[in-house]
Amino acid sequence: MPNVKPTAVAVLAAALAVTGLAGVAAAAPTVPTGPSGPVQTTAYTPALVPKLSKVIASDLNAPWGMAFLPGGGALVAERDSGNVRRLDGKGKAHVVDRVPGVVHAGEGGLLGLAIASDFRKTRWVYAYFTSATDNRIVRMRFENGDLGRPRVVLSGIPKGFIHNGGRLVFGPDGMLYAGTGETGNTGLAQNRKSLGGKILRMTPAGRVPGDNPTKGSYVFSRGHRNVQGLAFDGQGRLIAAEFGQKTWDELNLIKAGRNYGWPTVEGRAGDSRFVDPIAQWHPDKASPSGIAVVKGTVFMAGLRGARLWRIQLGSLRPDGIPRARAEDFFTGRFGRLRTVMAAPDGSLWLTTSNTDGRGNPSSSDDRVLRIRLRAQ
């Protein structure tokens, strides 16, 4: 698809019944880098069509984070209750434990989960949650079906009634990445000393890696409003989804040490001080949360948009950001969608978020759905 302005894309989408977004070139070309180095130029990734396979679990309380366990099944975090449940993949969801110290208010509570890269050896499960004083990351040993005492990995992340971030992911470099929000205090996003409105990078034990962009700082990138989705693709590129305010939600390629513009800009600005997004949407079409990458294609869950977006990535624009074409699926079918994860068997697991105070729950909400991907 040629580079066109978003308004032109909307016209083309209406004509073809396909939603697509392409990029606008920035002024200063750069070479994109991630934890694994320079990125290769590629054609658009193959189309994968999502189809509902089955309901994995139902009657959950505002599910948020999810992590797959080696050997089968998954853990899911319930934001409001603070419970971690184990899903067996066959319709059962057993409460494992309530994480102590979780304080739910507004968008805060028990948020992201991640499994240590060396889980079979260490048994570490990581959780991001809102406490009485802050947002923090802890780790707990998962042994004999129980979670052990939380041990603080990182504390002091700003908390608020809104915009608490919360997503966790381990990178191919073995480091832990966390998306945070600016809590409604927009100035935090550009404040280099604040952990709010950032993507953070740390060792599994919570130390600052020696090769972080700024010596002694956890900050990997800044200028974010509320990072809700984090995932790595097969090329080692870190992709992030975040809420916009009134104009543009964003899907971003994250580059070490770069600035993503909030609150100075929202969406594409063509300003060399900031990194433009891969793709952007009006909030009523997205309000993105979790993302997953399968065979180079990004799948993004939409809350207010109540749909699953498929974003195929293509060759690089002059600013070093991949071109993209996007199409939506399941629009309005399951209500608000919070988290999407790539399962070990090649499917997606997708959570609804209709009991979070902003949805219209059915009698079986909230649910975890298995989505089969079929090559087009």
CA distances from 205 to 103, 152, 197, 201, 214 (A): 24, 9, 22, 11, 19
Over the stretch 2-61, which tens digit does the pLDDT of each residue have? 343 344 333 333 333 333 333 333 333 333 444 444 444 458 999 999 999 999 999 999
Q: Is residue 308 part of a domain?
A: yes
Q: Is residue 125 part of a domain?
A: yes
Average pLDDT over residues 234-250: 97
| Mean pLDDT across 226-246 | 97
Q: Is residue 181 part of a domain?
A: yes
CA dist 280 and 16 (Å) reads: 19
State the chain's mean pLDDT as an integer. 91
Domain-located, residue 63: yes
Report yes or no: 243 and 251 within 8 Å, Cβ to Cβ.
no
Q: Which residue has the tokens 């189809």?
A: 51
Q: Which pLDDT value is given to residue 83?
A: 98
pLDDT at 370 over 70: yes
What is the widest separation between alpha-carbon atoms in the chain?
Answer: 56
Residue 1 covered by a domain: no
Q: Give mean pLDDT, residues 115-128.
A: 98
DSSP 336-364: -EEEEEE-TTS-EEEEE--SSSSS---TT
CA distance linking residue 348 with residue 47, whole number of Å? 15
Query: Tokens at residue 106, please?
Result: 């507004």
d(CA 7, CA 100): 48
The number of domains in the chain is 1
What's at 174, amino acid-wise?
Answer: G
Residue found by looking up tokens 């805060």 in the block: 108
Which of the 8 DSSP states describes residue 43?
A: P
User: What is the rounded average pLDDT of the residues 287-295?
Assistant: 98
Mean pLDDT value of segment 101-111: 98
| Beta-carbon-side half-sphere exposure of residue 183 (alpha carbons within 13 Å) | 17
Examine residue 366 and say whether the peptide bond preceding it is cis (omega within 30 degrees of 0).
Answer: yes
Sign of CA dihedral 84, 201, 241, 165: positive
pLDDT at 43: 84
Q: What is the DSSP letter of 226?
A: B
Q: Is the pLDDT of residue 243 over 70?
A: yes
Tokens of 245: 């305010």
Tokens (6 digits) for 184: 């409604």
pLDDT at 66: 98
How much is the average pLDDT of 346-361?
97
Tell me the mean pLDDT in the region 86-96.
92
Which DSSP category does 47 fall into? P
Grade residue 376 by pLDDT with cuts at 50, 70 and 90.
confident
pLDDT digits (tens, 9 = 90+) for 301-341: 999 999 999 999 999 999 999 999 999 999 999 999 999 99
Give the pLDDT of residue 91: 84
Average pLDDT, integer, range 140-150: 96
pLDDT digits (tens, 9 = 90+) for 161-219: 999 999 999 999 999 999 999 999 999 999 999 999 999 999 999 999 999 999 999 99
Domain residue limits at 114? 6-375
Contact status, residue 128 vs residue 79, Cβ threshold 8 Å? no
From residue 246, alpha-carbon distances to 187, 260, 281, 282, 297 in Å are: 18, 17, 10, 7, 27
Alpha helices in the chain (DSSP H): 6-16, 119-122
- Which pLDDT score is estimated for 96? 97
CA distance 212 to 82: 32
| pLDDT at residue 42 in the model | 55
Measuring CA to CA, which residue among 107, 102, 146 is closest to residue 123?
146
End-to-end CA distance of the chain: 18
Mean predicted confidence (pLDDT) in 112-129? 98
Q: Is the dihedral of CA 353, 355, 358, 362 positive or negative?
A: positive
Question: Percentage of the chain with pLDDT > 90?
Answer: 87
How would you classify the pairing of strands 33-34 and 37-38? antiparallel
What is the rounded distance in angstroms from the CA atom of residue 240 to the CA atom of residue 289? 9
CATH number at residue 153: 2.120.10.30
